[in-house]
Amino acid sequence: MFAHQQQDGPVWRAFTDAHDGVSDAPYTAGRDAAGGLNLGSHVGDDPTAVRSNRRRVAEAAGVAPEALVLVDQVHGAEVVQVDGPCHGSAGEADAMVTSRAGLALAVLVADCTPVLLADPVAGVVGAAHAGRPGMLAGVVPATVAAMRDLGARTISAVVGPSVCGRCYEVPAEMQQAAARVVPEVLARTWAGTPSIDVATGVVTQLAGLGVAVTWVPGCTYEDARFYSYRRSGTTGRFGGVVLRREVA
């Protein structure tokens, strides 16, 4: 279920994989016929299976299903502040922040870069979905700014698995347009063709904002534990989840 978990005081951060769910193929991992942990409700999977998978993640996180909060992601830079549990979506956005304990903020990806942020002392957490358009639009800096507006001062980020620069081939014009915004995204594929390294762009932005980064290894295209749209086309979505637990 979880490819990575870490606890920083009251803050828990985790990235799911494609296993230990109830979805059938093609929303499974590798050649598995069933048991996929698809969390995306917009990819054609059985809605009952998606709800069950989300409940499993919420239970593993120790929260009620309605406290697992998601947004309708649109590859932009909009950030929403979440103040309570949601039945469904918290709105159209690509990032969330909260200062309320007990809410598990979740972003969904299948090649894009999931970013989980926290200031455990200030009690503020955030989650961002950074694909190529969102990274270039500044969703990560916008999330950091929103957290600082809530009182965060010492923010750390955990950057999850995503498609790597060697596997994200793009037209040369797209590569050059992206590099004009964030030069560090320039990359080449295994075949030497133009590509973009979105996660490196995200890490560069975080470093420029004074945010300490833990970068979890893994290329979604190369690692069948994860969903990858570029690899599979029709596929599921895995999640990055951040939660500040109640302190007794």
What's the structural domain count of the chain?
1
- The pLDDT-based confidence of 178 (bands split at 50, 70, 90) is very high
For residue 217, being part of any structural domain is answered with yes
Instruction: Look at the pTM and tell me if it is higher than 0.85.
Output: yes
The b/e string for 139-148 (b: 16+ C-beta within 10 A; e otherwise) is bbbbbbebbb
Closest CA to 129 of 88, 55, 75, 91: 75
Closest CA to 165 of 135, 193, 196: 196
Closest CA to 2 of 225, 159, 229: 225
Average pLDDT of span 16-35: 90
- Decide: 45 and 227 in contact? Cβ < 8 Å: no
Mean pLDDT of the chain: 96
CA 237 to CA 243: how far, in whole Å? 19
Q: Per residue in 143-159, pLDDT tens? A: 999 999 999 999 999 99
DSSP summary character for residue 225: T
Q: What CATH number is given to the structural domain containing 216? A: 3.60.140.10
For residue 2, being part of any structural domain is answered with no
- The pLDDT-based confidence of 34 (bands split at 50, 70, 90) is confident
For residue 3, being part of any structural domain is answered with no
For residue 201, being part of any structural domain is answered with yes
Average pLDDT of span 232-241: 97
For residue 177, being part of any structural domain is answered with yes
| 177 phi/psi in degrees, rounded to 5 | -65, -40
Strand pairing category for 104-109 and 238-244: antiparallel
Q: Per residue in 118-147, pLDDT tens? A: 999 999 999 999 999 999 999 999 999 999
For residue 1, being part of any structural domain is answered with no
- Decide: 1 and 20 in contact? Cβ < 8 Å: yes
| Structure token digits, residue 5 | 């978990």
Average pLDDT of span 164-177: 98
Q: Per residue in 54-89, pLDDT tens? A: 999 999 999 999 999 999 999 999 999 999 998 779
> What residues are paired with 104 via a beta bridge?
68, 243
CA 154 to CA 235: how far, in whole Å? 37
Q: What is the pLDDT of residue 10?
A: 97
- Cβ atoms within 10 Å of 196's Cβ, excluding its own: 24
> What residues are paired with 157 via a beta bridge?
117, 213
Residue 233 CB contacts under 8 Å (≥ 6 apart), including other chains = none
Q: What is the pLDDT of residue 248?
A: 64
Q: Per residue in 193-226, pLDDT tens? A: 999 999 999 999 999 999 999 999 999 999 999 9
Omega before residue 171 within 30° of 0, cis: no
Q: What is the pLDDT of residue 32?
A: 74
Domain span including residue 177: 9-233+240-244
